[in-house]
C-alpha cells in the first residue's frame, strides 16, 4: 500500500509540474500580454496621459523588463521556479502588488465551502434517486426521476442561478440573492452564512445530481443482473434488501472514482455560480485575473486548483483502495 501510495504521489507531482509549466507557457504565448493591455487601456482611456509614441515605446520596454517578460519564456519559467523553491513565492499580483498566493488563498475557503456542500447535496440527492430509479425500473417513478436527472444536466447553471434569485430572493424574499453573509451585520453569523450558502450550493449540487443519479441507476441495474444477486432473490431476499445490502455496495466502488472526477466539474460549476451569485470564491478571481492578464495570480490559481484536483483524485483512489480489498491485495 505504501509503495502504491508513493507511486501515486510521484505521478501526481509530475502531473502538477506539467500543469504549471503548461499554464505558464500558454499564458505567455497568448497574443496580448499585460503590457499591451495596459498600453491599450491608457490609450483608450483618454489618450494615455499625454504620452507620445516615444514615451509609449519606452514604457513598453521598461514594463517588460520590470515584469520579467523580456526574457525567453523558458528562462522566465526557471526564474519563477527558483522563486518558488527559494522563497515559497509564486509572484506578486500585477494589479496591486500583493503576493499572488495570498490573493488566491483568500478565495479558497469560500470555494471549498461551496464545493463541499454541493458535493454533499449531489450525494444525498443523487444516490437515493438513482437507487429509487433502479428499483422502479421502467415505471413512472423511473421516468420522472430520469427526466429530472436529464433536465438538471441540460439546463445551464447560470440560467438556473438567475431564475432561482428571481424566485427565492426577489419574489419570495426568503433567501438572499448573493454574497456570503450580510455585509451590514456587525459580525459574521454562521446561520447567516448558511442562508447565503443554501441557494448557490443547491444549484451547484443539483447540476451534478444528474450524472450521479444516472450512474448509480445504471450501475445498480448492471449489478442486479449478476448471478449471486439472482440467487439471493431466488432464495427469497426482498428487492430492496437485495439492492441496498448487496447491489449498492458493489455499485458504489466505481462511484468513488466518479466522485473524484466530479471535483473538476464542481470547480467549473462553482466559477459560474460565483459570478452570478457574487460568492467570493476562486472563480471570480480567476476570470478577473485572466481578463487583466495578471500572470502571477493566474499561475497561483493554476497551482492551487491543480493541487485541489490532484488531491481529490488521490483521495478518491485511496478511498477506492480502502473500500475494495482486492485493490489493497494487488
The contact mask relative to other proteins for 245-264 (x = CB under 8 A, - = no) is: ----x--xx-xx--x-----
In whole angstroms, how close is the CB of 197 to other proteins at the nearest point?
A: 10
In whole angstroms, how close is the CB of 147 to other proteins at the nearest point?
A: 26
User: Any contact of residue 181 with other proteins (CB under 8 A)?
Assistant: yes
Exposed e or buried b per residue across 41-64, where buried means at least 16 C-beta atoms within 10 angstroms of its C-beta: eeeeeeebeeeeeeeeeebbeebb
Site for other proteins in 42-61 (CB under 8 A): 42-59
**Binding residue for other proteins (CB under 8 A) from 12, 21, 67, 261?**
67
CA–CA distance, 85 with 88 (Å, rounded to integer)? 6
CA–CA distance, 239 with 232 (Å, rounded to integer)? 9
Match 457574487 to its residue by C-alpha cell: 278
Q: Which is nearer to other proteins, 98 or 139 (CB)?
A: 98
Q: Which is nearer to other proteins, 215 or 279 (CB)?
A: 279
According to DSSP, the residues that pair with 218 across neighbouring strands are none
User: Any contact of residue 298 with other proteins (CB under 8 A)?
Assistant: no
User: Any contact of residue 40 with other proteins (CB under 8 A)?
Assistant: yes
In whole angstroms, how close is the CB of 149 to other proteins at the nearest point?
A: 19
Site for other proteins in 110-169 (CB under 8 A): 110-117, 119-120, 123, 162, 165-166, 169
Site for other proteins in 213-242 (CB under 8 A): none
Residue 236 · residue 124 · CB < 8 Å: no
Amino acid at each position: 500500500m505504501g509503495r502504491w501510495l508513493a507511486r501515486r504521489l510521484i505521478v501526481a507531482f509530475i502531473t502538477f509540474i506539467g500543469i504549471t509549466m503548461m499554464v505558464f507557457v500558454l499564458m505567455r504565448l497568448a497574443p496580448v500580454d499585460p503590457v499591451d493591455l495596459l498600453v491599450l487601456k491608457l490609450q483608450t482611456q483618454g489618450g494615455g496621459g499625454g504620452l507620445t509614441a516615444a514615451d509609449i515605446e519606452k514604457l513598453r520596454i521598461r514594463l517588460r523588463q520590470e515584469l520579467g517578460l523580456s526574457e525567453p519564456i523558458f528562462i522566465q519559467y526557471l526564474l519563477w521556479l527558483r522563486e518558488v523553491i527559494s522563497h515559497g513565492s509564486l509572484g506578486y499580483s500585477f494589479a496591486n502588488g500583493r503576493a499572488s498566493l495570498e490573493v488566491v488563498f483568500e478565495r479558497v475557503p469560500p470555494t471549498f465551502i461551496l464545493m463541499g456542500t454541493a458535493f454533499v447535496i449531489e450525494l444525498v440527492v443523487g444516490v437515493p434517486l438513482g437507487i429509487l430509479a433502479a428499483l422502479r425500473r421502467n415505471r413512472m417513478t423511473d421516468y420522472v426521476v430520469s427526466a429530472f436527472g436529464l433536465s438538471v444536466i441540460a439546463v445551464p447553471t447560470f440560467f438556473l442561478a438567475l431564475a432561482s434569485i428571481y424566485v427565492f430572493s426577489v419574489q419570495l424574499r426568503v433567501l438572499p440573492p448573493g454574497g456570503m453573509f450580510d455585509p451590514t451585520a456587525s459580525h459574521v453569523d454562521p446561520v447567516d452564512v448558511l442562508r447565503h450558502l443554501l441557494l448557490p450550493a443547491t444549484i451547484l449540487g443539483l447540476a451534478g445530481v444528474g450524472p450521479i443519479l444516472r450512474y448509480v441507476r445504471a450501475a445498480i441495474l448492471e449489478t442486479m443482473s449478476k448471478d449471486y444477486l439472482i440467487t439471493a432473490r431466488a432464495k427469497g431476499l426482498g428487492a430492496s434488501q437485495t439492492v441496498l445490502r448487496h447491489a449498492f455496495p458493489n455499485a458504489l466502488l466505481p462511484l468513488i472514482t466518479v466522485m473524484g472526477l466530479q471535483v473538476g466539474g464542481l470547480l467549473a460549476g462553482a466559477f459560474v455560480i460565483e459570478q452570478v451569485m457574487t460568492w467570493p470564491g476562486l472563480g471570480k478571481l480567476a476570470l478577473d485575473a485572466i481578463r487583466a492578464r495578471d500572470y502571477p495570480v493566474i499561475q497561483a490559481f493554476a497551482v492551487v486548483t491543480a493541487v485541489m484536483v490532484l488531491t481529490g483524485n488521490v483521495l478518491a483512489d485511496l478511498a477506492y483502495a480502502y473500500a475494495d480489498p482486492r485493490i489493497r491485495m494487488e
